[in-house]
Amino acid sequence: MPIYVTSDAHQTGGDARDFAACDPRFAERLKRFDAAAGEDRVIRLGDWYDRWLGRRGRVRGCESGAEHLWAGRRGDLRIEGNHDRGCGPASAILEIGGRDFFFMHGHQFDAANSGLRRVVGWLATKIAGLLMDLVGSPVLPSSETIAERLLRLIGHEPNDERFEKSADRYRKLFGADVIVCGHTHRGVVREHYANCGRWPQYLVIGDDGSMELRTWK
């Protein structure tokens, strides 16, 4: 049976900081996704919630009762992310199709989440949350989120090449064949590395270890 891997919904319950729930189809889409998975396993690679941002006022038209959906189904594997610490293990290794797959959220490979820069990034995210409350949306007219804009302004530019190299070092350290993560919000599939992107993107891992990136409609 295939395995479905999702990540990074950043759901806060329909408030001004919510990336996912302000889509009126959010709850229905997630219910259909879980139903379609059936008996197949779902692995959720963290950042389902945005505990760093907290909760403020609700936004008209946003879902307010879908929080429980992110708890997942019985038997699902939940890996903790940097925005929802304490929700599960930091990593897991599973053998699929004769290969060892190493699952992590991926913030461990991000320079903005290590050392002093992690503190700076955390403060920037909190400030971004306050700005989101003021404007009533996490997204700017340019389609860039307020958090992404602020992090970019302080020099926290994403570097996919450096991220993947760091992830590959981690993979080799643990002797895995493939490392699978999220965190960057950018989906990609390579021979030894896969990123499931941000919901509604998701990764399908077949019984033979094949990987395919899809988007849930």
Q: What is the mean pLDDT of each run of 10 residues along the chain (217 residues)?
A: 89 67 69 81 85 57 52 76 80 96 91 69 77 77 79 78 92 96 93 93 96 92
Count of domains in the chain?
1
Three-state secondary structure readout of the chain: CCEEEECCCCECCCECCCCCCCCCCHHHHHHHHHHHHCCCEEEECCCCECCCCCCCCECCCCCCCCHHHHHCCCCCEECCCCCCCCCCCCEEEEEECCEEEEEECCHHHCHHHCHHHHHHHHHHHHHHHHHHHHHCCCECCCCCEHHHHHHHHCCCCCCHHHHHHHHHHHHHHCCCCEEEECCCCCCEECCCEEECCCCCEEEEECCCCCEEEEECC
What is the predicted pLDDT for the residue at 3? 94
Question: Domain of 178: which CATH number?
Answer: 3.60.21
The predicted model scores a pTM of 0.83
Note down the domain range covering 89: 3-215
